[in-house]
Copies of this chain bind each other. A is one copy, B any other.
Amino acid sequence: MPAYDVLCIGNAIVDIIASADDDFLVGNGIIKGAMNLIDAERAELLYSRMGPATEASGGSAGNTAAGIASFGARAAFFGKVSSDQLGELYTHDIRAHGVAFDSAPLSGRPPTARSMIFVTPDGERSMNTYLGACVELGPDDVETAKTDAKVTYFEGYLWDPPRAKEAIRLAAKLTHEAGGEVAMTLSDPFCVDRYRDEFLDLMRSGTVDIVFANEHELISLYQTPSFETALEAIRKDCKLAAVTRSAAGSIVVSGDRTVSVEAMKVERVVDTTGAGDLYAAGFLYGYTAGLDHALCGKLGSLAAGLVIQQIGPRPREDLRAAAVQVGLIDGFGN
């Protein structure tokens, strides 16, 4: 049996979360709902304009790893922090979720990455990410032992720092050699726009087997206004794709199979940060446990539905217990 169910690789980021109204986003040139990459200077400017905040460990793939561990599966994480206080918080939190995390921290500059997240009254989050230490993630950080996973999952955001893609290609190769599969999330429509050809090549070359995307990212990938057209395209380009559509649920395509999954009913959306990450967590937990695609999608919907009812991107509840409570898994094996 592989050492881990899922190995997640991503930018290790501490979220700094505050409320803001839509005028604030417009006045500061922040693209709503997106991940806006910023440099140190702009980070300082935006922080000076930000209201009182709370902090929580985040980062897309880190959130997914925490979610998978909360379902009771064996998760590991690769990512780069610096040896500073935010790096200590990040390291503590991901380990406290039960995720194996041993990437060596940078000693010195740049500091641990942070994302200033402005949550508007509709619950939508607009991220402003200073990558900091993440720019140093490279193939040296790929520990062979940890790539012995059923699935190695990474975020498309890793194409932003300069050397992380080398780490991904190495981890994907090692995972495939050990008999595992490789999954990615397209991360963000603008990220897809930055790296469209490379992402398509990852899929078509067989480097990536499984793709997570929301409908905006999918449409951006294939540059078509038609969701149906894009869905048929991705069906051909990878072994399995799970596409989320917010309150409209998700669709899982694999070969000629198509499964539609409802979203969880949510009374009030507090903060959408982590929704896609936790969908992937639920899905991958189910997938690596050998459950069928419909059940995988339902576990994803459950995890995403819970995380959008709280501030911060990682589950406060025990997701395994939550899944047992609603009858998705039986509380023993699965």
Contacts and interface: CB of A to CB of B under 8 A. Distances in A.
Interface of A: 16, 18-19, 47-48, 50-57, 66, 84-86, 89, 92-94, 96-97, 111, 311-312, 314, 316
Contacts of A94: 52
26 contacts: A16-B89, A19-B316, A47-B92, A48-B92, A50-B96, A51-B96, A52-B57, A52-B66, A52-B92, A52-B94, A52-B96, A52-B97, A52-B314, A52-B316, A53-B89, A54-B54, A54-B56, A54-B311, A54-B312, A55-B55, A55-B56, A55-B89, A84-B85, A85-B85, A85-B111, A311-B311
A46 to B, nearest CB: 11
Contacts of A89: 16, 53, 55
Q: How many copies does the complex hold?
A: 2
A112 to B, nearest CB: 8
Contact of A93 (B48, B53, B86, B96): B53
A55 B52 CA distance: 12
A57 B55 CA distance: 9
Contact of A54 (B48, B55, B66): B55
Interface majority SS (helix, strand, loop, mixed), chain A: mixed
Nearest to A48: B92
A53 B92 CA distance: 9
Contacts of A111: 85
A211 to B, nearest CB: 28
Nearest to A97: B52
Given A52-B96, A53-B92, 17 more contacts: A18-B96, A50-B92, A50-B96, A51-B96, A52-B57, A52-B92, A52-B93, A52-B94, A52-B97, A54-B54, A54-B311, A54-B312, A55-B55, A84-B84, A84-B85, A85-B86, A85-B111
Contacts of A16: 89
A53 to B, nearest CB: 6
A329 B237 CA distance: 62
Q: Which 3 A-B pairs have the closest CB atoms?
A: A55-B55, A85-B85, A54-B56
